[in-house]
Amino acid sequence: MSRDITASAHAITVVLRSTLRDASFRRGIVGLSGRVDEIVVAALAAEALSAEQVRLLVLVDPEDETGAAERARAAAEHVGADTEEIGLDPHLDALLRDAPEADPKRRRAFLARLRTNLLHDRSLAHRALVLAATSKTDLLLGRATLYGESAGAVNPIGDLYATEVVALAEHLGIPADVIGPPPVVDLPARSAEGGGFEPSYAWIDPLLKLLVDGRVRRRELTEMGYDRADVQRVASTVRRNRYRRRPPVIPAVSGRPV
Amino acid sequence: MSFVVGLAQMAPRLADVRGNVERHLQIIEEASSRHVNILLFPELSLTGQALGDLAVDVALTLDSALFADIRRSSKELAIGIGLVERASDRVLRNSYLYLDGGTIIHLHRKLHLERTPAGAESEVFSPGRRIRSFDTRRGRFGILTGADARHVAAAGVLALDGMDALILPLAIAARPNATPPPEEEAEVWPRALAMMTRSYVFAINRVGVEEGWTYPGASRAYGPRGELMAEGPTDEDSLVIASLDHEVLRRARIAATGPKDEARDVVFREMDRVSRES
């Protein structure tokens, strides 16, 4: 496992350096909202480019009660890059003033895109390329807000499952209190009896690995002990969210579509 | 008879033929100064891999003036290069040329097309239709490009066709999290081919990054007993120096079983049967 992690980290830093060079950028910029994905991307960027060439923006949900602000600040300190903290209250107030009916889901998506907006603004100010931070798990399950967490020129951890990102964080020497508690995945309940379905990444990653990387058939998965309905739910979530992982669909009408 | 072989581990710039020709000429100059007799570049060394529909823009006819300087340089040393060949108005191929004495001695057109960062090669290239060993001033050689070399029967044909050395121009990307990682497999199968065919194997892998794919290099040269003779570094341009010694080859072939002992009549008859029945 640790050899895979070392080699993956190495491949990621090689791609980061090369992508920035090809796009004529020397600096990268990463947003920190307390998620481990961002912390790992920031640490990898510092390794690939040096901490001096990384800018960090602390952009924490003002209503967060999980200690995200402390984790984000500690992460910035750990990485040792220039950091700016921006309060999101006025922007959020504006949304709620215009749309007081906005439910938590809309609020979350608005915050994600607001962060991207601010990151891209500072990207112009500092001539720094925006680095996205979304794991393969979240990409597959459609948990990354479109043009939110997944927006950026490079997504260094996009081919690592969430649990692998945490393992990489540990490998990079990021302290446990900065990494934070393991999150859960809320998948829409699809069965008639309803009920929440909130598996952990530790549960869902091995299943995704079998399903996506291993191309294991669903029947085999049930023989391995997975619940048929769970497998069905995960597989259909992956399929349904395909559009979020692709560039916008362009109806092809000319001889050479872009 | 012994020769110095150079593996030109380098990063082609995507779709920049002129820039890549310049880079080839620099490496050829360095190889000359290091007394290299046979200099081998990786797969598609003049263009890079992630071409997609750019392939048509970088395609060259075999008499193209664009790589005339490289062809001329082959008066000094033999040179293997990879390019997109414009075989006709409609047909493009992933081709590898063995140049010597200022002319093309052999052309290998990749048969087994694979995936690149820009999609399937089969959407761009037509597959080749020939596998042949060929005579040069320095021995009888065979070429298998990329995935061609993963088909054991293809190497078998070249071995039975009398090759002394197998040239493998490659573009293998690292996938440390894959099962199994292709870069780890590449430490095994070229060596196995050297052992099975009792030939030298020169595996030249590119370096650099294209569309998030990293090509690690680690080019390797094996002797006819499967012994590792030279190995390139990871992720860096390098001129890796190895040798080809016909005396070593002769001794290795006397000492152990190999293509010379093949039950050819049975193999050919059974191949023929498989072909008829499939």
* Per-residue model confidence as pLDDT tens for chain B (278 residues): 999 999 999 999 999 999 999 999 999 999 999 999 999 999 999 999 999 989 999 999 999 999 999 999 999 999 999 999 999 888 999 999 999 999 999 999 999 999 898 899 999 999 999 999 999 999 999 999 999 999 999 999 999 999 999 999 999 999 988 888 999 999 999 999 999 999 999 999 999 999 999 999 999 999 999 999 999 999 999 999 999 999 999 999 987 888 888 899 999 999 999 999 98
**Whether pLDDT at A195 is above 70:** no
**How far B115 CA sits from the closest chain A CA (Å)?**
16
**For residue B191, what are the contacts with CB-CB under 8 A and spacing of at least 6?**
B201, B220, B222, B226, B228
Q: Do the bridges between strand A54-58 and strand A27-32 make them parallel or antiparallel, or are there none, so unpaired?
A: parallel
Instruction: Kindly provide the ipTM of the predicted complex, given to two decimals.
Output: 0.75
Kindly determine whether residue B209 and residue A19, on different chains, have CB atoms separated by under 8 Å.
yes
- CA angle B177–B227–B106, rounded 5-degree value: 85
**For residue B172, what are the contacts with CB-CB under 8 A and spacing of at least 6?**
B146, B182, B183, B186, B205, B215, B216
Give chain B positions within 8 Å (CB) of A135: none
Edge to edge, what strands does the sheet with A128-130 contain?
Answer: A82-85, A54-58, A27-32, A128-130
B-chain residue closest to A164, CA distance: B177
The structure's pTM equals 0.86
pLDDT for A192 equals: 47
Q: Which of B53, B178, B208 sits opposite A256 (nearest CB)?
A: B53
Q: How many angstroms separate the CA atoms of B236 and B270, rounded?
A: 45
Residue A192 has what DSSP assignment?
T
Kindly determine whether residue B174 and residue A11, on different chains, have CB atoms separated by under 8 Å.
yes
Convert the pLDDT of each residue in A22-72 to its tens digit: 999 999 999 999 999 999 999 999 999 999 999 999 999 998 888 999 999
Q: How many angstroms separate the CA atoms of B65 and B87, rounded?
A: 16
Kindly determine whether residue A7 and residue B208, on different chains, have CB atoms separated by under 8 Å.
no
pLDDT for A94 equals: 86
Computed over every residue of chain A, the mean pLDDT equals 90
Q: Which of B53, B176, B212 sits opposite A8 (nearest CB)?
A: B176
Burial of A82 (0-12, 13-18, 19+ CB in 10 A): middle
| Token pair recorded at residue A220 | 């085999």
Q: Which of B46, B84, B2, B39 is nearest to B204 (CA)?
A: B39
**How far A164 CA sits from the closest chain B CA (Å)?**
10
Tell me the one-letter amino acid at A70: E
Task: Compute how many other C-beta atoms are within 10 angstroms of the C-beta atom of residue A77.
Answer: 12
Percent of chain A at pLDDT exceeding 90: 68
Residue A213 has what DSSP assignment?
I
A-chain residue closest to B173, CA distance: A11
Kindly determine whether residue A11 and residue B53, on different chains, have CB atoms separated by under 8 Å.
no
| Token pair recorded at residue B152 | 């054991």
Q: Which of B91, B124, B97, B126 is nearest to B112 (CA)?
A: B126
- CA angle A26–A31–A34, rounded 5-degree value: 140
Q: How many angstroms separate the CA atoms of B56 and B131, rounded?
A: 25
| Token pair recorded at residue B185 | 């497999």
B235 touches chain A (CB under 8 A): yes
Residue pair A65/A58 in contact (Cβ under 8 Å)? The answer is no
Residue with tokens 């093949």: B262
Q: How confident is the model at residue A2 (pLDDT cuts 50, 70, 90)?
A: low
Q: Rounded to the nearest 10 degrees, how much is the dihedral formed by the CA atoms of B67, B69, B74, B76? A: -170
B-chain residue closest to A3, CA distance: B176
Q: Which of A3, A15, A213 sits opposite B214 (nearest CB)?
A: A15
Task: Compute how many other C-beta atoms are within 10 angstroms of the C-beta atom of residue A138.
Answer: 26
| Token pair recorded at residue B83 | 């390019």
A-chain residue closest to B178, CA distance: A213
Mean pLDDT of A107-128: 94
**For residue A237, what are the contacts with CB-CB under 8 A and spacing of at least 6?**
A140, A141, A142, A187, A188
pLDDT for A186 equals: 73
Residue pair A142/A152 in contact (Cβ under 8 Å)? The answer is no
Residue pair B67/B58 in contact (Cβ under 8 Å)? The answer is no
Residue pair A8/A35 in contact (Cβ under 8 Å)? The answer is no
Give chain B positions within 8 Å (CB) of A4: 176-177, 181
**How far B215 CA sits from the closest chain A CA (Å)?**
9
Pairs of CB atoms within 8 A across A/B: 32
Higher pLDDT, A131 or B117: A131
**How far B56 CA sits from the closest chain A CA (Å)?**
13
Q: How many angstroms separate the CA atoms of A74 and A80, rounded?
A: 10
B-chain residue closest to A258, CA distance: B53
A-chain residue closest to B53, CA distance: A256
Q: 3-state DSSP call for residue A249?
A: coil
Q: Which of B176, B179, B208 sits opposite A11 (nearest CB)?
A: B176
Give chain A positions within 8 Å (CB) of B214: 11, 14-15
pLDDT for A187 equals: 72
Q: How confident is the model at residue A190 (pLDDT cuts 50, 70, 90)?
A: low
B123 touches chain A (CB under 8 A): no
Give chain B positions within 8 Å (CB) of A15: 209, 212, 214
Q: Which of B107, B164, B116 is nearest to B137 (CA)?
A: B164
Among B residues 165-224, those touching chain A with beta carbons less than 8 Å apart:
174, 176-179, 181, 208-209, 212, 214
Kindly determine whether residue B208 and residue A18, on different chains, have CB atoms separated by under 8 Å.
yes
Mean pLDDT of A87-116: 89
Q: How many angstroms separate the CA atoms of A2 and B86, rounded?
A: 46
Q: Which of A11, A213, A214 sits opposite B214 (nearest CB)?
A: A11
Q: How many angstroms separate the CA atoms of B53 and B73, rounded?
A: 31
B102 touches chain A (CB under 8 A): no
Task: Identify the helix (H) or strand (E) that includes residue B265.
Answer: helix B264-277
